[in-house]
Structures are given as structure tokens and as C-alpha cells.
Structure 1
Amino acid sequence: MNLARLRRLDTLFLRLFLLMWVTLVISNVVAFSAASPFGTSWVGRLSTEGVAALPPLPSLPPEGLMDLRRAPPGQPGRAPGPAPRPDGADRPEHVHRDGDGWPVMPARSLWLDYALRALLIGVGAAIGARWLSAPMRRLAQASGTLSQGLAEGRDPPALDERLGTVEVRDSAQAFNTMARALKHQFEQHGLHMAAVSHDLRTPLTRLRLRLEQLPPETAHAAAQDIRAMDELIDASLAVVREQATAVPPALMDLGAMLQSLADDRAELGQPVSLAEPAEDAAPLRVRARPASLRRIVDNLVDNALRYGHCARLSAQAGEGGVVVTVEDEGPGIAPAQLQRVMQPWVRLQAEGPAGGPDGRPSGSGLGLAIALDLAQREGGRLGLDNRTEGGLRATLWLPLA
């Protein structure tokens, strides 16, 4: 029988069957030796009788009891065999007997026998559970690191497809195939985003050239829009570059980053403000990828400006990390829609400057979804809730460095 055929026979059923059989035999030997009236007398006979001296399987009565219970030929209910000697020389000492003089196992020894068997089978089951679940633990560990590895641009973990039973090897092969497909999809997704962002440079360059033909006031406003688009393209390319090249998180001063963002928005005439930190407050330092973190807060600010007319930023330490909040003065969101609005392509009805002629918002429904995805990749959490005084509050939690 070649090795390949043996590997096909190596199944979870066969392993469990062999394990429980070995456990049962060991429990029988130990329990019989410790609990039966004959003790370990069979050990001394191994050298002379060989395998015949071993205790019987659990489904059969002990060999010594079978010998002692042999009755004269023809007596019903007794195994055939020679009658015991009248002087009792063939009867071991300290053997309990029933009313007919036949040996029986005492109640104490019987319960000890059951306890020892249960203990040994339990130990065998514990060892077997750990042995048989080892491949599942490896699969769970690989699955747990898969998403983080893909987010950081690292190669997905690969399971050894040559180890374990048929079921384990099939699962490892399926996992490796899935991980490679996900890696390819992530790379293609990033490539498409980079290509779109790069291709937008050409029409923006043409727009800059045509600004010279516009009146100065109109040209200035258009130049600001083009500048904002350039910054958005640069931010998108930076995020894709961080993910594609597996840039490790860097130590950042969160307060300085938020102040820079608020200043840039104020230069564009947007109503964005940052709450002043307390005088004795320590700098808030987090470990994150700069472009990704900037994109998260930018998207939250854009959402607040589009639907809430203003954006008020604040940051403080709390809950074992740093909490960044972005508040607005808009109508808020219905509680039933708070989770749904963070899904891709979801746009709620809007009124006022944010909505179009049909009452639909002008956005694409991707801002919050992108912010949520990037926050999770940075090990943070993002949530939305309505303020009691009106408006929406976006809360970003990040772990401290």
C-alpha cells in the first residue's frame, strides 16, 4: 500500500476510532488491575503465559473470575470446566463470594472500576479533542490574521496542504485558494482606484488652462474647486499607496493633524472648527497611517458640511483610547437608519443645500462607508448617533499609541 493511499485512509473517523479503542483498552487494564480481587497478578504471568495473561476486553468477564466460576460439568448457568478442588487450594484469598460460594467483585471495587474507567476515558477524550481540533485552531488563527494582512498589503497566511486528515487537507486547500483570490481582488481594487485618480489629472490640467478665459471672481472660485479636487486625488492615491506597499502605522500627534485639517478647511471658507484642548491635557498620540486617518476625518467633515451646515471637531482621551467627534447642526438621521447609512451606496433623503432637485443628496453614498472601512483597518471603531440638542455626531475611537 503506497503512501498516497494511506493518506486517503487517514480520516477524522479513523483517528477518533483508534483513539477511543486504545483508551478503552487502557482503561480496562488499569481498572481491572486496581479494582479486581486479582490485582496485578497477571503481570507476573506475562513472562510465562505471554498474551494469554493479559486482562480480557471489557465485554468479557475477567479471566480469573471465569476460571473460578467454572462449575462441574453439566451444571446450568456455569461455564464448563474442571470442578474446584475440595480443599480450596485453587481459591485465591480475600475473594468475595456469593451465597453459592462463587467469587464476585465487591461493590467498592465495582464503583472504583467504574470511576477509573470514566477518568481514563475522560483524559483520553480531552487529549483526543485537542489532537483532533489542532487543525481547526490553525485554520481559525489563519482566518483571524487574513483580514489584517490583506489590509496591510502583506501576503495572506498559507496553511500546509500536506498535513492532517483528508478533511483537514481539503480545508487547507480551500482556505489557501480563497486567500489568494482575496489578495488578487484587493490588488485589483487598489489598482483601479489609483488608475481613476491618476486619469483625473488630465481634465483638471485642461480646466486650469481654461480658467484664464473666465472673469477673475469666477476663476478664483473655480481654482479653489480644482485645488480641492487635487487634494482629494492626492489623498486617494496616498491611501492606496499605503495599502499596496504595506506601510506600517506611524506615531502621530492627533491634535496637530486635526488642527491642520481645520485650518485647511477654514482657508476654503468652510465652517469647520476644532475645540481647544485643556491647558493641562497631554498630547494625544496614536499609531496610524497618516493618509488613511486624514481620509477618515475628511470624509466625516464632508458629511457634516453637506448635511449639517457646519462641522465641530474635538478630541479627548477616553475608553482606553482616543475619541474624535465630529458634530453638525443638521436634521440628524432616523435611529433605524444609523447603521444602514454607513453601507456603500446608501443615500438618504435630504433637504436644503445638500439635496438635489428630487430631494436626493448630491453625494455618492460612499463617504461614510469608506471612513468605516479605513477605521476598522486602523484598529478603530466608528459610530453615529443623534445629539439631544439636534444634529448628528460621528464618533471615531482609536487606540492610544
Structure 2
Amino acid sequence: MSLAALRERLRRIDTLFLRLFLLMWVTLVISNLVAFSVASPFGTSWMGRLSTEGAAALPPLPSLPPDGLVDMPHGPPAKPGHDHRPNLAGWPAPDGRSSDGVRDSDGWPVMPARSLWLDYLLRALLIGVGAAIGARWLSAPMRRLALASGTLSQGLAEGRDPPALDERLGTVEVRDSAHAFNTMARALKHQFEQHGLHMAAVSHDLRTPLTRLRLRLEQLPPETAQAAAQDIRAMDELIDASLAVVREQATAMPPALMDLGAMLQSLTDDRAELGQPVSLADRLEGAAPLRVCARPASLRRIVGNLVDNALRYGHCARLSAQEGEGGVVVSVEDEGPGIAPGQLQRVMQPWVRLQAEGAPGEPDGRPTGSGLGLAIALDLAQREGGRLSLENRAEGGLRARLWLPLA
């Protein structure tokens, strides 16, 4: 049989049961030798006889004494037809010389109760140490699996290849688990890529009808054409932002150091040019730059979605940013009716739409929008290592708070 074939056969029988059985057996043998050498009246005298007697010199495995811990002869039981006394050839004979002077009625050395207690204590300690070592040894594959599972979501969010576990290491159960995890991770990576591709395809295909709309603007009255041109420009910006976010995730673009205040000012200026009531807090002007490490397109999309939500339901959007809570907090406030406290968490789930009082709705009375703006903002914020929360303002309106770690 070749070495490779032998190795493959051993891999097939390398199970968790076999490893645990061997570990327990080795621990039991070691604990027996150590406890016998320390607690037994015979001490380590058996070691000197190994060279001449071989395995016959090894100490016997003791059994629990009957009727509690009492003095009893130490050694293997006598064979049928032989002397009733234990066969202790090689051990101290009944001549008055023994390690502790404790003997039975026939003068044979016995193991007192105190030595038995010490014997059992040493065995318990050594078995406990063996169990601790074995638990750490056998749980190592589970720790590797937990580590890989913890980094899987972050890796998929950043567009990196998912972590792969070595399917050649460990027992049969561990190798099967590694194979199942790797298969799942590859399937998730493929699904993420397909979803991003579909989103990019839809955004790209929208450019064709937008181009036709631009050509037809010349047939409209000047006032109508100007308003339509602004809507088309907003749609173009939305398409560019969506493609930029998909590109960042697909290419695993690393976060970049950026000036948060400058980004907020740029976004405010762009919205103001469209005639939208968006303002930025004056205290940002002249203040020290707030630098964060994030992906520019994703961060702009987060704040843009929060601004759109404030404009749709709160009639205006006021932006501010300041250091706090160990990072930077971006606030987007509006003057709308706010949200019921029980709906603050639910509204950030996908496809959830609430009809605010006074807010425009669909012709059939349903709330406007698709219910994805806040859900997308929350997802992108978590990908950037941030947090997003909503709260009602005491003076009325809603406040969206985006926390980002400082660079």
C-alpha cells in the first residue's frame, strides 16, 4: 500500500469519536502513573524495574475500595488456586520495611485512606487538565468556523472573496463542515454579484429613455421644459450615484479619507440649485474639518436618501455635523409630523411605507415612494461601519442621526 493510500485511509477513520477516545485513554494512563508514583506507598520504585521486567513492572490500575475509602492491599488480585494474598512480587516484602509502615494483618503493605484521597485528587486534576487541553484542541475547528462566519458578511459587503476553510484539515465531521461552509460562501458571493449586476443594468438602461426625453424638451413651453430638465438632471444624478455605489462594492474599493463638511456642502449646494429647501448648519463654516474614512459614493447616497425622506415627509431638510460619541454625527432634521415611536425601527425595513399627515400620496391614496430609501441608507451605513437611527424632535419633526467613526 502506498503512503498516499495509507494517508487517505487514515483520513477516513479520523473521526471526532476516535480522537476523543484516544485523548481520554492517554489521559487516564498518565493520571494512573503520576498518581501511583506520588500517592502510593511504593512510590516510584516501579520505574527502576522497567528495564528488567518490562510492562510487568507497570503499576496496576486501582479500583475503588468497597465500603468507602478503607485501607486495602495494593496490587492485582490473586489467581484462583494461589495464595489469597495479592501477588506483590518485587514490592517491599513483609519484613518490616515499607515506605509508610502501614501493613495488613499478614504484614503486607497497604494503601491508607489518606493516600487514596491523594490518589483520586491527582487523577481528577490530571483528567481535568487533559479535558481542558482536549476541549481546546477539538474546538479549534469551531473557532475557525466562527471566525470565518464573522468575516463573511463584511467581506461580501466590501466585494472581497469570502474566506475559505481548508477542507483537508481535521476530522471527517470538520472537513464536511468546511466543505458546506465554502459552498455556502461561494453561493452567497454569486448572489451578491448578480444582484449588483441587475441593479447596474437597470440604472444603465434608464439612460436611453432619458436621452429621448431631453430631445423632446424642445417641443415643450420654456417653463415646462425647464422643470422637466431639472427632473431629468435629478434622475441622471440618481443613476450616476447608483452606478457609483455598485462599482465601489464590485471592485472592493477601499474606504478613502474625505472631508465630511465639504461633502455635505456640495450636496446642499446641488439641492439648492434645484430649488429644494435644503440648508447646512452655519457652525460648520470655518470649523476644523471633520475627516472620516468612507467610500464617497456610498456616503453621499446615505445622506441623499435621508434628505429625500425629509423633503418628502417634512417639507425641508437641515443638515449638521459635529463630533460626538467617539465619532462624527450627521443629523438631518425636518419639520414634518414625525413618526410614531413604535414605528421608528419598522420604517427602516425594506418596503415599509408610512403615510404622514399632509404628505403627498399616490392617486389611490397609498403612500408615495417604494419604501427602500431608509432601508438602503441603513444597509450602506452598516457597510461603512456606522449606525443610523431615527428620533422625534421635541419641537416637532423627525431627526435622522448617522454616526460614523473618525478617521
Contact 1:348 1:361 in 2 (8 A): yes
Aligned to 2:290: 284
Q: TM-score w.r.t. structure 2 length? A: 0.90
For structure 2, the residue ranges without an aligned partner over 5 or more in a row are 66-70
Aligned to 2:353: 347
Aligned to 1:39: 43
Write out aligned runs for 1:137-176 (5 A). Answer: 137-176=143-182
Q: Give the Cα–Cα distance (whole angstroms) in 1 for the partners of residues 254 and 72 of structure 2.
A: 70
1:95-133 deviation digits (Å, cap 9, x = unpaired): 323577554323432222222112211111111111101
Aligned to 1:200: 206
Structure 1 position 49, deviation (Å): 0.7
Cα-Cα RMSD: 2.6
Query: Do the aligned partners of residues 88 and 164 (structure 1) sit closer, same or farther apart at CA in structure 2, a change above 3 Å counting?
Result: closer
Q: Give the Cα–Cα distance (whole angstroms) in 1 for the partners of residues 64 and 367 of structure 2.
A: 81
Query: Do the aligned partners of residues 17 and 74 (structure 1) sit closer, same or farther apart at CA in structure 2, a change above 3 Å counting?
Result: closer
Write out aligned runs for 1:261-280 (5 A). Answer: 261-277=267-283
Indicate the percent of aligned positions where both proteins have the same amino acid. 85
Aligned to 1:53: 57
Q: Give the Cα–Cα distance (whole angstroms) in 2 for the partners of residues 80 and 120 of structure 1.
A: 28
Structure 1 position 220, deviation (Å): 0.4
Query: Of the candidates 362, 368, 377, which is equivalent to residue 356 of structure 1?
Result: 362
Query: Of the candidates 250, 257, 263, which is equivalent to residue 263 of structure 2?
Result: 257
Write out aligned runs for 1:8-23 (5 A). Answer: 8-23=12-27
Structure 1 position 91, deviation (Å): 5.2
Aligned to 1:65: 74
Write out aligned runs for 1:167-186 (5 A). Answer: 167-186=173-192
Q: Give the Cα–Cα distance (whole angstroms) in 1 for the partners of residues 334 and 88 of structure 2.
A: 101
Query: Do the aligned partners of residues 330 and 98 (structure 1) sit closer, same or farther apart at CA in structure 2, a change above 3 Å counting?
Result: farther
Matched, 1:239 2:245: yes
Deviates more, 1:356-365 or 1:201-210: 356-365
Q: Give the Cα–Cα distance (whole angstroms) in 1 for the partners of residues 186 and 343 of structure 2.
A: 35
Aligned to 1:3: 7
Helix, strand or coil at the partner of 2:175: helix
Query: Do the aligned partners of residues 89 and 226 (structure 1) sit closer, same or farther apart at CA in structure 2, a change above 3 Å counting?
Result: same
Structure 1 position 10, deviation (Å): 1.1
Contact 2:73 2:104 in 1 (8 A): no
Q: Give the Cα–Cα distance (whole angstroms) in 1 for the partners of residues 94 and 80 of structure 2.
A: 15
Q: TM-score w.r.t. structure 1 length? A: 0.92
**Matched pairs, number:** 395
Contact 1:71 1:82 in 2 (8 A): no
Structure 1 position 228, deviation (Å): 0.2
Query: Do the aligned partners of residues 145 and 340 (structure 1) sit closer, same or farther apart at CA in structure 2, a change above 3 Å counting?
Result: same
Structure 1 position 249, deviation (Å): 0.5
For structure 1, the residue ranges without an aligned partner over 5 or more in a row are none
Structure 1 position 54, deviation (Å): 0.8
Contact 2:75 2:87 in 1 (8 A): no
Query: Do the aligned partners of residues 14 and 172 (structure 1) sit closer, same or farther apart at CA in structure 2, a change above 3 Å counting?
Result: same
Structure 1 position 350, deviation (Å): 3.1
